[in-house]
Structure 1
Amino acid sequence: MRILLLIALLCIASPVKAQVGVPMVNYWNTYKEHLREKLPLYYSRLNTPATAAEIGELESFIKTELPKDFKTLYGINNGEDESWYVGGVLCGMRMLTISQITNTLQELKEIEDEYDFNSEWIGEIIPEGTIKPGHFYNKWIPVFSDDNGNYIGLDLTPDLNGKYGQIINFGAEEYDHFVMANTLAEFIEIINSFFENGKADQAIYENEKGERVMFGLVKDSHLTDDLKRMMK
């Protein structure tokens, strides 16, 4: 039943399904246009491209080749401005830089090594058999962060029914894990669809400084929580 609900989520969120072979650059540039038009502050925070050397250093650190979609994305923008700001370019979640990804992975590994939270994890996996049960694995690569220890990222060590490079949630308050999309490109296309069908507009508002911001897919929410609710 939950697998059917996940399929329904992807269909509802993305009227035009992401096509195999369409480059990640198209999806991301489309999203950037939404930012430029509706959230210019977020658009202005995007960094210049990561170098091949920087991406290669991350691959050396995780001892695994990163999916092409990820390398394409970071070849366009190496995350966003690292200076402190409440919010982030992906519906309020911060897009981490390559160096932040590396540092976050090191911190998460140290926490898991010390406390062994995986042995105590009792959450739910949706769909079943797609994500390894646990709190954190070294090849869960954080890409987007809420700055409170919760992430959306790549799963490079999926369970038997999962797919290499699938997009999942994990972190301090993410007690249940679910597959948001099969690839990073598909995930960005799903996010684009919320802007294209007008649903994202309900989450955009002006803060006390007159800046247009958004947090999640409804006002003052959380992207991961909103996607979870939509699949239940």
Structure 2
Amino acid sequence: MMTTWNDLTNKIESKFPTFLGALSAPTDTNALNEISALIETSLPETFLNIYRHSDGEKLRATGYVFGLSLLSTEKIVHELKGWRDVIDQGLDGLSDSCTSHQEGKIKCEYANTKWLPLLGDWSGNFIGLDFDPGPEGKQGQVINFGRDEEHKYVFADSLDEFMDLLDRLLESAEITIDEEGGYAYQETHFIDALKELATQ
């Protein structure tokens, strides 16, 4: 079974009414074309469908996906250009301590122009798609990266698989709800929770 973004939004808003109306209107083709040009590859249909449904979030109080925010296309373009500038200026050894938990699947780099952010925590850390995988990795695999994410993990082999994972986690007994109506998995930062799942 393939979980769609529409399936996920229906489930999230049914379980957590705080998020009703939290998503923005759909994006336009120009924004998606700009992203595709920046990463120099075509975008998966699943990614396109997300943004044909909603161009990020209206609310910033708590993230729509387990505390993480769905980035707007404007924010994605900003991040892609910003990371490109960081790479152009030189990483000065920042990649030296980077690792790929599943050896060979992710390039041991601090930043890469072909890592496409999708979800973020407002502190410079992301879950996104990897279009420049290591020799054992898969094009479009879903990974963590960002300012504090030296140790990289593959959370799913594709965005479709990641959507299925989110759907399963939304049914978990380990979800907690805070007083503002936000929700978390295992009461921890969602990127860290996914790392834990990836090691099991």
**Structure-2-length-normalised TM-score:** 0.91
Alignment of 1:53-92 (within 5 A): 53-81=30-58, 85-92=60-67
Do 2:155 and 2:198's aligned partners in 1 also have CA atoms closer than 8 Å?
Answer: no
Change (3 A) 1:47 1:86: same
**Per-residue displacement from partner, 1:127-152 (whole Å, max 9, x unpaired)?**
11111111010000111100001000
Do 1:165 and 1:183's aligned partners in 2 also have CA atoms closer than 8 Å?
Answer: yes
- Can you give the 5+ residue segments of structure 2 that lack an aligned partner in the other structure? none
SS in 2 for 1:79: coil
Do 1:117 and 1:135's aligned partners in 2 also have CA atoms closer than 8 Å?
Answer: no
Per residue, is there more helix in 1 or in 2? 1
* Cα shift at 1:187: 0.7
Change (3 A) 1:120 1:164: closer
Whole-angstrom CA distance in 2 between matches of 1:121 and 1:29: 40
SS in 2 for 1:129: coil
Whole-angstrom CA distance in 1 between matches of 2:47 and 2:198: 25
Whole-angstrom CA distance in 2 between matches of 1:118 and 1:142: 23
Runs of 4+ in 1 over 3 A off after TM superposition: 117-120
Whole-angstrom CA distance in 2 between matches of 1:118 and 1:182: 28
Is 1:181 the counterpart of 2:156? The answer is: yes
Whole-angstrom CA distance in 2 between matches of 1:71 and 1:107: 22
The residue number in structure 2 matching 1:230 is 197
Whole-angstrom CA distance in 1 between matches of 2:20 and 2:90: 38
Is 1:150 the counterpart of 2:125? The answer is: yes
Q: Choose which of 127, 133, 136 in structure 2 pairs with 1:161.
A: 136
SS in 1 for 2:160: helix
**Structure-1-length-normalised TM-score:** 0.79
The root-mean-square deviation of aligned C-alpha atoms, in Å, is: 1.8
The residue number in structure 2 matching 1:205 is 178
Do 1:118 and 1:136's aligned partners in 2 also have CA atoms closer than 8 Å?
Answer: no
SS in 2 for 1:196: coil
Change (3 A) 1:34 1:116: same
**Per-residue displacement from partner, 1:201-223 (whole Å, max 9, x unpaired)?**
xx21223xxxx112x4123x210
Whole-angstrom CA distance in 2 between matches of 1:134 and 1:117: 11
